[in-house]
Structure 1
Amino acid sequence: MRLVPNPERAWARAAHLEAPAGAEVGLTGEEIARRIGPFSGDVEVLSGGLANVNVRLGADRVLRVYRRDPGAAPKEASLLARGWRSFRVPAVLSAGADFLLLEHVPHGPLQDTAACGAAVGRALAEIHGVGFDRAGFLGPDLAVVGPFADCIGALRDHVASVLDRLAPALRGELSEPVSAFLDANAGALRELASVPVLLHGDFKPSNLHWLSSSELLVLDWEFAYAGPALMDVGQLLRWGPGPEFVAAFAGAYRARAPLRDDFERWSAAFDLFNLVGLLEGVEPGSRRAIDLRGRILQTTGNRQG
């Protein structure tokens, strides 16, 4: 079985192993009980950190707690309840101020095959079929509550702020090529961002899974917002799935929504905003920093070393 390339799995494992003593990566029994009532079954940490934590309770439930932004919980609940037709999401069993209790859907990893590529294409076209008058952050009712006056300008401001905070070596190596690339392509990026759609916002293999029923499962919608469709495509293609996957993805997407012939080039350009954002707070010599540096330099047309 060939899996879609995803070095980010190794980042997550390394971050968990390198967490400082006393770091909170799971939930105590008291924290679980405070949200759903007494629970005495098996508890398995699926993911955890400062942003949020997911724990499986028994065989069939997942408690998802939003540590960084509790306001993302009602937005994600609304997205999970939309009644998607071409892919699965977990059912919301109950919700609170900072948590969702979700159905656990048994799943496996996304495979680097034409069948998976086509399923992903159908799913993303359906997601992008939800349009908006303007780009921006979404509220609980999925209306834009934090509009961007200039989407590309807002993304560039974020990139500039992250670059300014990087360790000196990384900042010195990446600031000039990233800025030069965005300057050279500003007009095209702005034109391509002119029709905002619903973005999953974290549409990468870590959040896309394959079911035994040959259905796609899409998880983790907390970063969803209104913006340019190619942002999601860039995240999907970031680490180079095979040509059969990409061709099947494009064919299935185009059957439901427009997609440029040169979508791979421009989706990589849009993903540059995401890649730089992922450098926030990383250790310069970490596997994450090395992978991101290489992909950024590849995207901007600079050599990698």
Structure 2
Amino acid sequence: MMAAQQDNSVRKLRTLFISDVHLGSKAAKTDYLLDFLRHHEAETIVLVGDIVDGWRLKRSWYWPQNCNDVVQKLLRKARKGARIVYIPGNHDEFLRDFPGVHFGGIEVAQRYMHEGADGRKYLVLHGDEFDVVVRNARVLAYLGDWAYDTAIAINIGLAAVRRRLGMPYWSFSSWAKLQVKHAVNFIGEFQKVVAEEARRHDAQGVICGHIHHAVIEEIGDIRYINTGDWVESCTAIAEHHDGTMELITWHQMRGGASEGEASGEADKLLAQLLTQRAA
């Protein structure tokens, strides 16, 4: 299922699954994510990895106000009673040293078994452990990351031109990725392996991120769900109170959206993470 949000009302959901935000990357569409979070409330929010882009932050520090605003927004939701579970990915792997630790009400977990309202069990993980390149050829992974950055840079320029012409957003990097036969084959193999992992854990479904390819589909007896990303497609998975899963694509273009919230708590949380990592 795929739906574009059309109105400004707040949607009340059972669970939200979001991944691959890549805070700290210039490609992160933090303004769209902030807009999305304003219009969606959930009892549980699961962050399915690569929320913070540690790889890029190591190369060069980039942390604008909107990154603080996203962290602050999530902290505020936690204070208001939402349960927030953070499953680290490969780009924010420094958090894997803190399973079970709570940061400002956000709980870190290696994996998470989610029971849907309909009784279906979903294994939730980022998915990078099933990416052979990330696991066995770190240098190639970094080179791939550089190539992806280049495609994203083209995206930014192209998006600016299309906006001036009154045309809707279109992702060059996503299109290019799907034109490459090896990439398409990789996605198919990734989905099969991740589905098999869910089967091994007696789950009826799996929810993951990592490959930036949002989809809900059945792979044999396993429901495979990928949350997509917030650098290209701006997608999230919503679970309704009857257990129905919805793939939401956030198309509203509110460029520069910012809540103007105080960033002190977000700065403090980031400093705490970096300090504990150094220790």
When Rg is computed on C-alpha atoms for both structures, the one with the higher figure is 1
Greater strand fraction, Structure 1 or Structure 2: 2
Structure with the larger RCO, 1 or 2 (CA within 8 Å, 6+ apart): 2
TM-score (norm 2): 0.28
TM-score (norm 1): 0.26
